[in-house]
Amino acid sequence: MLKNIASELSPDLLWCLASMGHGEKIVLVDRNFPAHEVARHTSSGKVIELPGLDIPAAVRVVLSVMPLDDFIPSPVACMQVVGEPEKILPMQEEVHRLAAAAEGRDVGMERLERFAFYEAAKKSFAVVRTSEFRPYGCFIFTMGVIFDSR
């Protein structure tokens, strides 16, 4: 047991986040995403389930312990709306705000075409599937660096 760790951070999710290094990616997705097919190609081969959490709740809990990369312009990526690549959905705006708040800075968010998103997700460390029911609740987060002040 651990203290001061959000209960939503399951042992498997904590292991993944603690195992990741700078520049590695984790994918947070909705329940429509082909999580197991994509996860077969990831570094860990894992799908981590977060039942009962929507995407904003999952993003909040993950970014409470995971720094985002500040060496790249867009440490967050989301899936474009098919047929409307310029459209930004309210959930995508919310995730963008959550990432900026967690980092205390503006955070770039790249939008990827659906199949390009699948290919990028296959290069991640793991896939985290939520109970999010809204479509296009699919995001990739790139791990940053913690600078120790000791």
Chain segment 101-114, per-residue pLDDT in tens = 999 999 999 999 99
Q: Which of 22, 54, 96, 106 is catalytic?
A: 22
This model's pTM is above 0.85: yes
Give yes or no for a contact between 76 and 68, defined as CB atoms under 8 angstroms apart. yes
Q: How much of the chain exceeds pLDDT 90, in percent?
A: 94
Residue 118 annotated as catalytic: yes
96 is catalytic: no
Choosing from 30, 96, 118, 136, which is the catalytic residue? 118
- Is 30 considered catalytic here? no
Domain boundaries, the chain: 24-142
pLDDT of residue 150: 63
| Active-site position among 69, 70, 106, 136 | 69
Q: Residue 54: how many CB atoms within 10 A of its CB?
A: 17
Tokens 């599937």 map to which residue? 129
pLDDT, tens digit, 9 for 90 and up, residues 69-86: 999 999 999 999 999 999
Single-letter amino acid code for the residue at 20: M
Domain spanning 24-142 has what CATH number? Answer: 3.40.1650.10
